[in-house]
Structure 1
Amino acid sequence: MASVATCADAVLLRALAQDDEQAFAEIYQRYWDELHAHACRKLGCPHEADEVVQDLFVALWNKRHSAPDIQQLNAYLFTALKYRVIDYLRAQAVRLAHAAAAPTSSADRGTEESMAVADLAAALAASLRRLPAHARAVFQLSRLEHRTVPEIAAQLQVSPKTVEYHLARSLRLLRISLREFMASVLLLALLNA
């Protein structure tokens, strides 16, 4: 292989798929600064940007065997970063909302909340099992593994429109299935206010 520093991204991706740590290190060196700067602009905090970009590279290493499927590494990394930033901001908003919620004084209320969360998790798992196979696979890849529509389409060997259809279908079915649990969670939140 030519000098790692002079290799095209496609060559590096093929080497990465073969567990080549030097290829991974070169990808890291090429893209870290630009990805980090972009994440800093979006998050406003270098420490948070470090965390998000580091997670992105860990995910790339974990998915290295499908690396040759990536058509343009630069576009792939920045798209993946965009979704990781969105996920990070969502999680931060949830943490802030939770921290802002009034603390409960009753141990019973904490137990009720824990049981409601456990019930909701069980209901979600049961609802996922009832989804049609394609809709379930698309939902899991999208929402649980944080894959993009093009990545899911490539993995499942279907068109992006098919992925979007199954994702919309799974979300609609889950909303219907979980409606009663959402009502009880909302009631519990109102009682805690």
Structure 2
Amino acid sequence: MGILSNHTDNNLLICLKQGDIAAFDELYHRYAKKLMAFSLTFFADQQLAEEAVQEIFVRVWERRKKLDESKSFKSYLFQAVKFYIFNYIRDRKKDCSLDSLSGDFGMVSESLEDSLSYKELEGMMMEQIERLPSVQKEVFKLNKFNGMTSEQIALQMKLSKRTIEHHIYLASKSLKSNMLHNPTLSLVFMLNILY
């Protein structure tokens, strides 16, 4: 346990903005493993996932003076990983071919991608969320849309933190499973909801 482990993210960000390397180290140790696990849900290649996490923390250090300590640092990190993934996919889009797609995804007709707007895809994604069992749906929305932690949801719903984490896991697993049949919808889902 580090000497700054009892400090809040906000306090650490204030120190980080002043160039405190110990505050940076504490934030790194606090979130690197979580970001790595999150990155591995998108990149099967361990090295790509590690590069994503390292790049995010390099950017945190380089842009430390511009960080807003009044906002959630955890949310900032996961958003940064989502943008990294989006940019990675965008930059490699021209390298993609149907041969490189997994057999699980099947072929996506160009007319589907051309005819569906982002809002329509988002609507389809929301329909999938609405089909979840009621408690899973409520917990998932509180966590992903309202940014509440497992502890906060547990207090509000008078359930254990472990139960809340289990509901989030089950909801995410169910939604990911449903999205595998539509890669376009799956990308929108992953980039906007699962973090």
> What's the TM-score once normalised by structure 1's chain length?
0.51
> AA paired with 1:130?
R
State the aligned residue count: 133
- 1:88 match: 80
Higher relative contact order (CA 8 A, sep 6+): 2
C-alpha distance in 1 between matches for 2:172 and 2:88: 25
Which residue of structure 2 lines up, in the alignment, with residue 98 of structure 1? 90
Q: Aligned equivalents of 2:57 and 2:160: distance in 1?
A: 33
> Aligned partners of 1:175, 1:148: CA distance in 2, in Å?
21
Is 2:48 aligned against 1:34? no
Contact 2:121 2:185 in 1 (8 A): no
Counterpart contact for 1:35–1:81, Cα < 8 Å? no
User: Which of the pair is proportionally richer in helix?
Assistant: 1
Match of 1:21 in 2: none
1:1-193 pair list within 5 angstroms:
32-36=13-17, 37=20, 38=24, 43-45=57-59, 46=61, 48-50=63-65, 53-54=67-68, 57=70, 59=71, 80-102=72-94, 112-113=113-114, 115=116, 117-182=118-183
Shift in Å, 1:127 = 1.0
Deviation for aligned residue 1:146: 3.1
Deviation at 1:148, TM superposition (A): 2.2
The AA in structure 1 aligned to 2:148 is: R
> What TM-score does the superposition give when structure 2 sets the normalisation length?
0.51
Compute the RMSD of aligned alpha carbons: 3.9
Unaligned runs of at least 5 residues, structure 1: 1-27, 60-79, 187-193
Percent of pairs with identical residues: 16
Deviations 1:98-137 (A, max 9, x none): 1332299xxx959835627555422211111111221112
- Aligned equivalents of 1:47 and 1:110: distance in 2? 42
CA contact (8 A) 1:129 1:136 kept: yes
Bigger Rg over Cα: 1
Which residue of structure 2 lines up, in the alignment, with residue 74 of structure 1?
none
Q: Deviations over 1:19-51 (max 9, x none)?
A: xxxxxxxxx7x5542254526996223464455
